[in-house]
Chains A and B, each alone.
Chain A
């Protein structure tokens, strides 16, 4: 599924983000097609999370364009992103530790009764349903998520992202806190979501995961996009070379590589 003539689901063009003079994201371009998984890899501080946080509305870009379905959109905050069907599983999980799983799942999108009060029972019922699918061993629907295990907390964060019919899913190290069985579950989930036509950005340190799940791989280094390659055109060593040395593979077709000078 290389760059083709279809309209990308997401296109981030020439994105710049700087924090006090440091270019965290420097002229990066990245695309995502429906039903595609794009693995976003790079060393620590390469700018992967920052670039994705621009898309999820957590950070604001200094310049550049974001297109959804080929149309330019303005994303000023997480609400804008969610309205566009962009959901994010953050590396930190972004859970409110002091409230329970249903409250977290519906945070910002609560189900209300017809009197305008929180419909806690309905939210708990929906949570039980979605967790039954995602993590059948899940317990503790009424306890603050602080007292849940790492895996359970992660499944709350994942449930929150997929429960609201996302079209674009950003997963920032989604298996970092999980054991082998739960990791396998997340992989199955990603494959299933892909089948449903959802586009997924997958940030991961685990190259094996990326090669297993991604269709294309985008590599970042020092805030710049080294390039995007088709998974089938490269091997793991070549990607490692891109991550560590910024060297492009000789045989593969590389797109969206960093271009000097601001447009």
Chain B
């Protein structure tokens, strides 16, 4: 990937770089990854395409708000799947694990805890969530142990997991649906109270902008301190402007979606606001599941790029033998990857069941396929060592956009599957060809 070379060295085939046009020069100065940019463009094409074909209902605040919520569960798990696939493994059990964890959290808050502390106890949600994440970590640890220490291939272990955990999910309540869930817990699904409102959204957006600017400045300072080549100032400024514009633009779009009438009426009643003739337009703001997904993406990106663990995962994916000879405890690293995946399944399970306001044993069915598809569409390579978390999030967004776009247009579900399947193969095909050309 010559694009990340930046100013520190000439990319392979350096002669071409000297003749570079303004686009290539811009890409090199800003060190924007061409593949990431390609994905953003692909997403833009999908969005604009659906917007035109659907007669202008796709790119509306309402649809985008819903799209972001629908993407959350797959996006959360896809961040972990990046590390799983980068380390040359696979996890086919995530959908089933989501189902099992949702059922257990459901049983805990609808049947077990109420018999001790009553229904809707104020700490129920946190106890339930902690239990779900802990159990997710435990199950991830078991699968990871068998894979890393006993040497059973991940494909087999997690294929077994796919069957075992789905079966166990049924067992939790003999196939019954558990509902309704704790009212605080429900907020994680982005329902009625599951958004943070317009003001908080703007505040978070502003904080994110400051974060972007701070990150750019501090990285520049560090490179200055060690006398390393620097990006040109205009490139830094452009990056900061693009980043902040994207954040604030997203907040503006989200905030443009007002509460549905029924919800707004209830809100007005609860806050003692008189209901005016023309109705009230109250922004929902950023949905909590989307915030959770963004938070997870941020944390996993940090773990992947800034910690020793992340470095080892990538080094192992690039050359397992080199990692072992480098003195890395590779088995423990692989086990930790699966523990992380289990925890992320727990978070997704909470979001998915909260969104439904019920735990059913079929929750998360086929999610493993969507998660893996999102990850590889996002540029994670099955040969190991290559992949990014933001890419996987974009991949999840592309998948979900295709699906909800087609639903919006009333395309039959079998045809939807055919399209998604073809797009998956096409995306990876293009990526492989691109990589071969730039390698």
In the complex, the chain B residue whose C-beta lies closest to that of A157 is B322
Smallest CB–CB gap between A155 and chain B, Å? 15
Report B's interface with A, CB cutoff 8 A: 1, 4-6, 8-12, 222-223, 225-226, 228, 305-308, 311, 314-319, 321-329, 384-386, 439
Cβ–Cβ contact A98 & B386, under 8 A: yes
Determine if A63 is an interface residue (Cβ-Cβ < 8 Å): no
Cβ–Cβ contact A142 & B319, under 8 A: no
Cβ–Cβ contact B315 & A96, under 8 A: yes
5 A-B pairs besides A97-B318, A110-B311 with CB distance below 8 A are A88-B325, A96-B316, A98-B386, A118-B307, A140-B5
Q: Which of the candidate stretches A119-127, A191-199, A249-257 sits at the interface with the other chain?
A: A119-127
CA distance A82 to B326 in the complex (A): 9
Cβ–Cβ contact A99 & B314, under 8 A: yes
Question: Most chain-B CB neighbours within 10 Å: which of A92, A97, A99, A125?
Answer: A99
Per-residue 0/1 for A91-108: is the Cβ within 8 Å of any B Cβ (1 yes, 0 no)? 011111111000110011
In the complex, the chain A residue whose C-beta lies closest to that of B7 is A142
Select which of A92, A122, A147 is within 8 A of B321 by beta carbon.
Answer: A92
Cβ–Cβ contact B315 & A107, under 8 A: yes
> Which residues of A sit under 8 angstroms from B307, Cβ to Cβ?
116-118
**Known: A121-B223, A125-B226, A143-B5. Contact between A78 and B324, CB under 8 A?**
yes
In the complex, the chain A residue whose C-beta lies closest to that of B223 is A121
Minimum-distance CB pairs A-B, first 5: A98-B318, A98-B385, A96-B318, A108-B326, A107-B326
> Which residues of A sit under 8 angstroms from B319, Cβ to Cβ?
94-98
In the complex, the chain B residue whose C-beta lies closest to that of A103 is B311
CA distance A140 to B226 in the complex (A): 16
Cβ–Cβ contact A124 & B326, under 8 A: no
Cβ–Cβ contact B306 & A82, under 8 A: no
Select which of B9, B318, B384 is within 8 A of A142 by beta carbon.
Answer: B9
Residues of A39-56 contacting chain B, CB below 8 A: 56
Determine if A33 is an interface residue (Cβ-Cβ < 8 Å): no
> Which residues of B sit under 8 angstroms from A201, Cβ to Cβ?
none
**Known: A78-B327, A112-B308. Contact between A121 and B8, CB under 8 A?**
no
CA distance A104 to B153 in the complex (A): 27
> Which residues of A sit under 8 angstroms from B305, Cβ to Cβ?
118
CA distance A97 to B9 in the complex (A): 18
Question: Most chain-A CB neighbours within 10 Å: which of B9, B225, B323, B439?
Answer: B9
Select which of A112, A121, A144 is within 8 A of B226 by beta carbon.
Answer: A121
Determine if A141 is an interface residue (Cβ-Cβ < 8 Å): yes
The 16 listed contacts between A and B (C-beta, < 8 Å) are A92-B321, A95-B319, A96-B318, A98-B384, A98-B386, A99-B311, A104-B322, A107-B326, A108-B327, A110-B308, A116-B307, A121-B222, A121-B226, A124-B228, A140-B9, A142-B5
